[in-house]
Amino acid sequence: MFCPLRQRLPAYAPVRERPFERVVYTMNDLEQLTRDVRGFATEVRTLGYSSVASGHENQFLELSERMIRHADHVDRRSH
């Protein structure tokens, strides 16, 4: 005997009306994350050029470059 999915699920189980809505939301989160990482990379680069680095500038600059590369890689894969 066939019955609709809505009838077979318990009353408290949510039925997804639009299955792709979460995917779009996730992509927006991913885009926001890559923007944030680029912003953090800029801050790290600024620290590398400041007096805080005190001889360790290269470590800050390398970290900044790695962060930007990873953000670019994720950004390319998401499109």
Sequence spans of domains, the chain: 24-78
Q: Which pLDDT does position 29 carry in this prediction?
A: 83
Q: Which pLDDT does position 64 carry in this prediction?
A: 93
Instruction: Residue 71: name the closest of 39, 23, 24 by CA.
Output: 39
Q: Which pLDDT does position 77 carry in this prediction?
A: 77
Rounded distance, CA 3 to CA 26, Å?
A: 32
The type of residue at 36 is: D
Per-residue pLDDT tens, the chain, 79 aa: give them. 455 544 554 555 555 555 555 555 566 888 888 899 999 999 999 988 888 778 888 888 999 999 999 988 887 877 6
Q: Which pLDDT does position 18 carry in this prediction?
A: 57
